[in-house]
Structure 1
Amino acid sequence: MKEWFTAREIADLLLPSLPATERGVRKMAERDEWLARNRAGAGGGKEHPLSALPAEARAAYVARHMDALDVPVAVARAAASEPEAESVAPTAVEQRDARLAILAAADRFAEAAELGRKRADILFCEAYENGAIEVAGWVRAAVRSFRPRMLAYWRANLRAGSTHRLAVDKGATRRGKGILDTANGGDVKVFCLACLSRNPLFTADHIRDLVGGQFGDELVAPSGEMVALPPIRTFQAALKAWKVTHKVELTALTDPDGFKSKYRLSGSNSMAHVRAPNQLWMIDASPVDMLCVDGRHNIYVAIDIFTRRLIVYVTRTPRAEAVCLLMRRAVLAWGVPQTVKTDNGSDFVAKATQRVFAAIGIERWLSDPFSPEQKGHVERAIGTFQRGCVRLLDGFIGHSVADRKVIEARKSFAQRLGEDPREALCVELTAAQVQHYADEWVVKKYDQRPHAGLAGKTPFEVAAAARDTIRTVDERALDMLLAPAAGKDGLRVVTKRGIRIDGSHYLVGHIMPGTQVFARMDPADMGRAYLFSPSGAEFLGEATCPELAGIDPKAAVAAARAEQSRIIAERTAAARAEAKRLTKGPRLIDLALRHVARDAGKLVDFPKRTEAHTTPALEAAAHAATPRSVPTPVISDEIRAVRAQLAAEAREEPKVRPLHAPDSPKGRWLRAQDLERRLARGEALSADDTQWLVGYVAGPEYRGYRATYGSSEEESPASAG
């Protein structure tokens, strides 16, 4: 809208209260002392501002040059959020929005014309009624005319947050009192709604036939009178009204997912507990609404709830590896999160995903099955990416079935012309190019756009202003954790041929057979595997497949054997040295008997309770074993004399000395022989005799005599001598 005018331009405008000639405008400007400035450009002269003109002239000029206005977004949002707005009929909502649009136009009119509120409202009402104010057609259709007092009333309700009072519902007095609403005490209406819940595609004709079959050809009016079944037009009007007034209830009955998405109460500020970056992430996946040269792909999206930052990863198939690669991009870019929330998809609950989360130290939350509203932030982020970025890419196939029908029609037409359907769909991008455009869109568009959930700030601003500590990880360690596991779970048992992975044997010389390991494959070299303990907390080394690594198998086997031999030799060196020492010391049986003898002296055998047991056979055997009486022999006098002489000699000093003293080597050998014979007969030895015998048998003296004379069962040396 122009702000400065020459006298000629003012005259040509033909505004009220102003002369229609250039000379008259100049005289009026001089008389009323209008503000003026020298005109720039050729010709020079003076020009005057719009504010210098009379109020009527300013109002007329502003009314002519105002753009058609709609309801301001902030005003419309505030009106829709009022609790009373839910009960306002659709026709009344249109009346309310028309009045709000008029208020916005009146405020702009007063501001542009630089008029006071009362004077501006009077002039605005006149201009609107004369058609000089440009507004949308639906606004003028809803409100034909109004007075300044009505404008003041509308403005007061807008300030008070009571815009529902601007909704004029002309049919409110009649609504809900029709024959189908009240017939049979309301049972007819309930029956009709039940039929619609069973099948929303029922027409008014279907419903009328069903009502006739249920209630008959006559209905009971509220007054008690019987009235004929209404015509089809009445059913059409009633069904149309019910589908509006009972929209939420019917949606809950016929489309549960739509009800959860649009109407179910979700509350606000449900993530108020998130107060720092990386406190909570949400991740999810969805097919991307476009075709690449190698087919359709999927996108995995991670969003940081506090900053609303996004990470997008494009992949061919939805698998656990894709989740891990998404986490790699996010962790390297943002740091390690405390918690990640996902749904129950197989790629999110896979063992590989759980193992990576546990290894990095990330807590995992699972939303309830079939409850996308529990992770609404990432669901909306995916929708924003699909609409904001994918829609601009070549190969876009639409967001809905209707969009895809149009694409299919184009494809069929292209086929009829003998044209490649890919060319008709403009399929030109590879997955790598889509990933590049996705990253560029996130950095340049999404991160720089104000977000309502961030109080009008951008994700970049919130992330830059945060002062919380970011937990980072070593990229090489992270890549190792994300390396694919061997087979399904990565667990393998080392055998004498190494470990078997996908039909190939990987040689392991430094780990003993029978050991269970967790194997990760090297993405850059399929001939190499990294081995960890089953828990993943200890790195054990590498395993190599000679065929896949391009190594001479014989040389690799020889090297593995040499390493195994070295480790075995190192681990058994102490044991071999001890075994060699045992060959020069006491025999193992001697050590065992010494231990038994020591323990025998510590044990006491308490007497047991006994009772006599006998049988006829035992009694007969006992009788046979009883010694018989022997007749007393008759001793002659000569024998008695010899015995007396021998007794007298025995009382004298002995003239015969023992051949071997008990403490001599020969005596000890004889004692040992005697004790061994007693043991062989089953006799019990005393503790002292047992201890002495075990110690003596372990000595070299015993072994020497034994080597010379043999065991005690053979002829003793005394008898041999």
Structure 2
Amino acid sequence: MTLTPHQEWWTTTELAASGLPDLPDTRQGVDALAERQGWRAHPEHARRRSCRGGGWEYNWRLLPARAQRKLLTDAAPKREAAPRRMDRDQAWAWYEGLPDAVKRKAADRLALLQKVEVLEAALGRDLAVRQVAGVTGTGARTIWGWFALIEGVRADDRLPYLAPRHRAEGPARTPRGKDCDPEFFDLLKSDFLRSSNPSFSSCYRRQLRVALQRGLAVLPERTMRRRLDQTVSPVTQVLLRRGMDAVKRMYPTQVRDKTCLRALEAVNADYHKFDVFVRWPAERGSSLPPVICRPQMVAFQDVYSGRILSWRLDQTANSTTVLLAAGEMIEDWGIPEHVLLDNGREFAAKAVTGGSANRYRFKVTEEDIPGLFTSLGCEIHWATPYSGQSKPIERAFRDMCDTIAKDPRFDGAWTGNRPEAKPEDYGSRAIDLEEFLRVLAEGIEEHNTRVGRRSEVAYGRSFAEVFDESYAVAPIRKATEAQRRLWLMGAKGVRAHSRTGEISFQGNRYWSDWMQGITGAPVVIRFDPADLWAGLHVYAHDGSYLGEAGVLDRAGFFDMEEARLLARARRQWMKAEREAALAQRRFTAAELGRMLDEVGPSEPAPPEARVVQMVPRKATKGGTPLPDQPARPADNVTRLPQRIDTTPEESPRERFRRALEIERAIEAGGPVTADQRRWLEGYQTTSQYRTERALWDDHGDAIFG
């Protein structure tokens, strides 16, 4: 192969500026050299220029030897430097990332080279290579190339160096052909990475119209999708399209070991709302209709075994039901050491967890009474909000959604587990509470005794069997009679009457003769929330037991739950009445004001003196005016009559009755004077009015005797 410089013909000006060795660096010097050596005498290497300006140009072969060598060296193709060989750690790390097909090729190459090395001892490497090449159909030069790849490599490290090198690390290959405009890619990403979660095809079609209107270069849809996946990580796509909760689910969850626990060492509790319509009967003697709702159940579960220890049902989630369920668990099984609770208000209530150091709901004061679990010495743990995986009982609730809520006896009352998954017979039936409780108790018992459980402590047994086995040998703390008052009763801080020592609670009065010694003192009362007529147990604020107080006046409700439901009904009635009253106002205050502005001011009436001032006068001992102070005419003085109020003083109850009559007159549109309105507005701001109003809201006109 003959090398030829990329430029064969040169002018003297170009040669002077080329910097070639043994050539002058001026045009005159090169012309003198050409004349001395007779370059123009060789017509095959010298010619006149055909372009404008004329002149001579010479072939590179007339140049001195060193100048020719420089031109040939520059024209020779550059030999690429051999790629740097990876060290063994890098090679094995790269090899682990290769697909199985590429790894099989490397293993086949290694096996062929090992055959050559076996024959090499007897035939020599050259003959062995040709022998193996003829048998396997692989070219001899290819085999020699594979030997070059593993030259100087340990025998146990050959495999990654024999893998096809097109998978080796290197600079990313640039796409061939035209590329899309960066602005089009930014438009597509901004449209696709939105929380509304649009499809990529719709985003591509929208932004394609924008790109065509702006004249931007684009690529096919599948190409752009691959480029977006390469540019934006899957985590970023999920974060921008589906939110932080979806990203949280991409992180592996914590696996907790139950084998280190024992029965009743730790329990967890939560509320579950059943997907079944239940007819809640009205209280006996009540005019309220039955309530149809989806009941809520609070349940306590043993963490070690998974057994449901106790449960209670109610219309809504509340701390009263939590106390009753907790008391049933402690009465039947014992006191747990650790309690894992949901972060809801019903569990963070003061009656349940008051005094806990890590309780961050409600206002915390120094006078807070210790809650049930705090008084029993249980260590309280709070589950992460909106994280069902933090509470093992959620798995049991999911099981009940299938085995209990979808029981054939509830057919027609099942509501569906999502708004868009309502059954065709939605709302066609409601289950009586008594029947629901019977099926629920049966389902929870089946849940506890079902065999074939696959937890790390069950090994095919039931939750009840696992619990009973550990419970028989575990140290269990049983409650004393004094502690039993803690969970069977609610707790509330009150103040005894300053004169008699009696305690008023929920419309009832409680008193015993020993209470004369606690007049006006702050105390803590504990009571059975389901039976307020059973009396109160009174404790000092330091926790010491003082005694029992019996009920004096059964004027209030005998059940706290009934009082809560009735109060809710009263609030709903008052809301309806307020809405009906607002419906009577056809025009707003602003509309009325605009109408008055359109009418304009009326004709002013003549002014009338409204300020009356007593005229002082100087008098003698006899009462006659002095000569220098004549008396004013009688018609210029308005004498104020003296008023002697002979009305007896009103009691607070009578004063409230008078305010109530004025309020009713105002609501009915009756005649009410301006003085009565001013008195009512001032009286409504007093604490006496608020106290009497609260009693009247609870008991009506019965407070007037």
TM-score, structure 2 normalization: 0.43
Q: Which one has the bigger helix percentage?
A: 1
TM-score, structure 1 normalization: 0.42
